[in-house]
Structure 1
Amino acid sequence: MHALTALFYALETQPEIPVATAQRILFLRAQAHPDLEALKDRLTCEQTWKPHASGLENQGIRHTREAEGKYDLILLLPDRQRESIMSDFAQAHELLAEGGTLVTALHNDWGAKRMEQQLAEVTGEVRTLSKNHSRVFWTTKTGPWKTETLSQWKANGAMQRILDGRFWSQPGLFNWDQIDEGSALLIEHLPHSLSGTVADLGSSWGFLSDHVLRKCPNIRSLDMYEADARALECARRNTGLIPVPVRPRILWKDVTQGVGNACYDSIVMNPPFHDGREANAMLGLKFITVAAQALRTSGHLWLVANKHLPYENLMKEAFEHQSTVAETRSFKILHGTHPTLVTRQVRKKPRR
């Protein structure tokens, strides 16, 4: 929220940013803010992260996953990953009209000063202010930017093959260019006897789902839930050509808000525990609760978590049987079966 607050402070206080006169405004990686209301008629918001997209919807702001056209003013609130930020700069350049202004807000801890310098090397001139532990910097497209550098930034941030070509991924995704150590531990302990309907909650680019499809021949279906839309095409490519009869459904969903009326025999997951910059164990607790609610009474939950995260008490409440299957210095594998009525009562139909 620091960078978001700083961004709108700059729009309010810096007259050289043409927020009042711009006919078309684009907000890349947009987040809800009260001041968007005044821009509504001129505004396009691009957002690939489902929780933020839902926040925009709740404010009545339309959004898209891929903006098109040219814009007089582009606002950018990047993620923290370096290649992703620089790719966002390249995208903004393509979408910015001649004479248009790009305004970027970034938290200091995410390399704001360095990213400002990188942009200045490409554009020639950048103006800046500091606010709320963040930097807001802006530049105008009045002369030629270094297009070769921008093209390289775009390529570096695009979907690409990783791990000797075995998988597709993209900078900005969780552990985008390597197999997460926790997920690698989980697949060592997942039984190949998983069967029936299966879900992968927080599937990212599809490593766990790839394993389930290849090693669990008795599954009838697989649903992959992921909040980051950038991962969806990667997951489709990574799982779509596996020579098995099951074709997974890949769903753009915020798991913390539930999975509707879906019901599963088994769920596997490596739940997140960071919300932006901050560690937030509540995310994992919400994932466990949603999993328990979505499992059949005989269902199984298999999850990996960092060893310090306090999930055991909820697992005891949510499942008749739960155990710690394995532990290393950094991770633990938890297994729960037979979800309890306490968590499943929300699935009952209301009385008429």
Structure 2
Amino acid sequence: MSVMPNSHEALIRNRDRLGGRVALLGVSAPALLAELPDGGMAMSEHAGQAAALATQEHWQSCFGYDDPGLIASAFDTVVVFLPKARSELDLRLSLARWLSAPGARVILVGEKKEGIAGAVKQLKAVAPGASKVDSARHCQVWEAANIEPLADFDLSSWQAWHSVSHAGCSIDVCGLPGIFSHGELDGGTALLLETLVTSPLKAEHILDFACGAGVIGAWYQAWQRAQGQSPSVVDGVDVQSQAVICARATYDRAGARGDIMASDGLENVDGLWSAIVTNPPFHSGVKTDTSMTENFLREVSRHLKSRGELRLVANSFLPYESVIKRFIGPVERLYEDRRFTVYRAIRR
């Protein structure tokens, strides 16, 4: 059984406040739902967590902010767990108000180290009468009674566009609150793009793992067109709902080709690619966590054609080279500095 976060345990202490039809936004552990047998709706923007939530009886699982199961004015109590990115809290609170029936209460739960103190200001901006009802498990629990519902929740109004330029080639990139590197070109991604210029991939069909907002695939195809080449098809996969939504929008605007898929790692992905590129995440909350990338490297060989190429950029302090060598094949460093290393490996 997965260990429950402190915020989930703090909510269980306050389960008597969960009256009527209940919605939970930002759930990460299915064990919480088992403790609340009356059921309701649980949303996660993480594909793996949403799939796990769907296994719990009496609970409807929703994936992300555009899930068709999210219904206006349908809930009497809406619990908002504090997201990692503070900018995402305003989005989550707006969704909570749209889901709220007249007279509903909104409960905000978060850990002190996650920044609950600052988050309370955002709650009070939409619910001035909100008050703290509990402190436990290094968390605070705040409640806003009779929240003012929102008549509309239009996710596209939260989208923001910015331009990414590299090697004389520009694309427009879609962003949403909570997405990685929102509004800028991440330094590691920029170096990966540079190696695509200096050492282009010999592949017509590519997979971008942990594709984020679709920068690599959309930019690479635009750069290939600018060189007079026929662009590769670049599929993308990401675990986060906002990333999938933004990558599809980025591809649409750039005229890029490729399927964008939601998956926790490669477990639910079928297909073989001639090349796989990635700038994988290595944080879980505030902690360094390389497990997702290590799992990816274990799985990747069955998705990479024989003699296919893996190209990966990572912070130079992360111990990936030996893992790549073990699971893929011989490793070459295409670029290296104090911050980042770009690895190339050819599948045995």
Give the TM-score normalised by structure 2.
0.84
Match of 1:200 in 2: 208
Match of 1:173 in 2: 179
The 1:235/1:42 distance shift into structure 2, 3 A limit, reads same
The 1:252/1:84 distance shift into structure 2, 3 A limit, reads same
- 2:261 matches 1:251: yes
8 Å CA contact 2:91, 2:177 repeated in 1: no
AA in 1 matched with 2:90: M
Match of 1:342 in 2: none
Any unmatched runs of 5+ in structure 1? 340-352
AA in 2 matched with 1:178: E
| Deviation (angstroms), 1:69 | 2.5
Match of 1:236 in 2: 248
| Deviation (angstroms), 1:126 | 2.2
| Deviation (angstroms), 1:256 | 5.2
8 Å CA contact 1:195, 1:218 repeated in 2: no
1:19-38 mapped onto 2 (5 Å cutoff): 19=18, 21-22=19-20, 24-37=21-34
Find the aligned partners of 2:188 and 2:157 in 1 and give their Cα distance: 25
- 2:62 matches 1:52: no
Match of 2:294 in 1: 285
AA in 2 matched with 1:160: A
Give CA deviations for 1:22-55 in whole Å, capped at 9, x if unaligned.
Answer: 1x11111223343423645540122221121122
The 1:33/1:273 distance shift into structure 2, 3 A limit, reads same
Match of 1:308 in 2: 317
Match of 1:69 in 2: 72
8 Å CA contact 2:211, 2:237 repeated in 1: yes
Find the aligned partners of 2:301 and 2:272 in 1 and give their Cα distance: 10
8 Å CA contact 2:106, 2:145 repeated in 1: yes
1:120-135 mapped onto 2 (5 Å cutoff): 120-128=124-132, 129-135=134-140
Find the aligned partners of 1:64 and 1:305 in 2 and give their Cα distance: 32
Task: Report the more deviating stretch, 330-339 or 130-139.
Answer: 130-139
| Deviation (angstroms), 1:278 | 1.9
8 Å CA contact 1:96, 1:141 repeated in 2: no
1:271-282 mapped onto 2 (5 Å cutoff): 271-282=280-291
Find the aligned partners of 1:81 and 1:160 in 2 and give their Cα distance: 16
AA in 2 matched with 1:251: M
The 1:218/1:317 distance shift into structure 2, 3 A limit, reads farther
Match of 2:118 in 1: 114
Match of 2:235 in 1: 223
The 1:157/1:314 distance shift into structure 2, 3 A limit, reads farther
Match of 1:162 in 2: 162
Give CA deviations for 1:224-279 in whole Å, capped at 9, x if unaligned.
Answer: 101111122221121124356xx21010111153633x111100000111122321
8 Å CA contact 1:90, 1:154 repeated in 2: no
Aligned residues: CA RMSD: 2.7
8 Å CA contact 1:271, 1:287 repeated in 2: no
Match of 1:343 in 2: none
The 1:234/1:155 distance shift into structure 2, 3 A limit, reads closer
The 1:250/1:130 distance shift into structure 2, 3 A limit, reads same
| Deviation (angstroms), 1:124 | 2.4
The 1:233/1:302 distance shift into structure 2, 3 A limit, reads same
8 Å CA contact 1:274, 1:283 repeated in 2: no
| Deviation (angstroms), 1:7 | 1.9
| Deviation (angstroms), 1:289 | 2.0
Find the aligned partners of 2:347 and 2:39 in 1 and give their Cα distance: 52
Match of 1:211 in 2: 219
Q: Which has the higher helix share?
A: 1
Match of 2:335 in 1: 326
Q: Percent identity?
A: 21
* Secondary structure, aligned partner of 1:320: coil
